[in-house]
Amino acid sequence: VPVFLFVAAPYIRRYVAGGRCKSTARLDGKVVIITGANTGIGKETARDLAQRGKVIIACRDIAKGEAAAREIRAETGNQQVIVKKLDLADTKSIREFAEKFLAEEKELHILINNAGVMFCPYSKTADGFEMHLGVNHLGHFLLTFLLLERLKQSAPARIVNVSSLAHHGGRIRFHDLHGEKRYHRGLAYCHSKLANVLFTRELARRLQGKFQRQAEFTANALHPGSVYSELVRHSFVLTWLWKIFSFFLKTPYEGAQTSIYCAVAEELDSVTGQYFSDCQPAYVSPRGRDDETAKKLWSVSCELLGIQWD
């Protein structure tokens, strides 16, 4: 068995690594925002895109963000890697980030909603939203709303939402969105990832027909794969399992490939409202294809955030 594993190891790793983004597309003169890009797949996405154009790392921990930015600047030679404060668990912080960005930058071509929390003990955001729903869905929903006009003005533009295979286990529990009646940290994560898929679907539907060419504005979601990263830090069991089985998990670099693909691949110029995994279209759960739920979630999200988004 040890001999077999030694021989098979490279093939197993190649299979686990999954698809690679092969696009060499440049982003000269273009601006990219990546949320949560101070660590994990967000950082690796920033590292790749910084070789192509200007990248803004939007994260809660400025010190970690600056450390990541320094590393990426040194490696790529691109000084246009900028860190901005953004706490997705606080709508005030989201609004402040958007206000400053709009004042400083005249264009925005790619928005990658990457940041996320996973398996948190029950807690609420500054605005009283359950943490998974608040950060993973509502925070990005508000951020996208606030930046949408700048994206439209800069078209062709893309919105990339990092979801997960976990959306298959999710449900939108409108009667208990904030988990006050019943809470399970694993299911709460699944629910929020389903919300990412539904948001992407409804956003793409609403954007269709608004432009002369659909290639001018697209929105897609993706599953990065099972990645060895800090995302499981709230679960002792998963942290332990992740260490034991790290050989069978993607590295952050491998996990970032589909995000990069959705952001730059030329063949996706006119593809919108889709879900990808390993740099190719992937199966969406029936709940993730429910247009009525998507429309209702959109309406409820607007209501919770106190915005009008028609």
Query: Would you say residue 79 has pLDDT above 50?
Result: yes
Looking at residue 230, what is its pLDDT? 58
Are 54 and 154 in contact by the 8 Å Cβ rule? The answer is no
Given the residues 189, 228, 261, 275, the one annotated as active site: 189
Helices (H), 18-123: 40-49, 62-76, 91-104
Name the nearest CA neighbour of 150 among 229, 289, 33: 33
Looking at residue 114, what is its pLDDT? 97
Looking at residue 15, what is its pLDDT? 57
Cis peptide before 2 (omega within 30 of 0): no
Active site includes 11? Answer: no
Looking at residue 234, what is its pLDDT? 53
Q: How many helices (H) and strands (E) does the chain have?
A: 11, 8
Compute the Cα dihedral for 218, 216, 112, 139 and give only its sign. Answer: negative
Q: What is the pLDDT of residues 206-245, one digit of tens each?
A: 998 665 454 589 999 999 987 655 554 555 565 555 455 5
Query: Would you say residue 134 has pLDDT above 60?
Result: yes
Q: How many CB atoms lie within 10 A of CB 201?
A: 27
- Per-domain residue ranges of the chain: 28-305
Tell me which residue has tokens 């390993």.
278
Name the nearest CA neighbour of 199 among 115, 297, 308: 297
Question: Quick one: average pLDDT of 89-103?
Answer: 98
> What average pLDDT does the structure give for the chain?
90
Write down the pTM of the prediction. Answer: 0.91
User: Looking at domain 28-305, which of 3.40.5.90, 3.40.50.300, 3.40.50.720, 3.30.230.70 is its CATH number?
Assistant: 3.40.50.720
Looking at residue 248, what is its pLDDT? 58
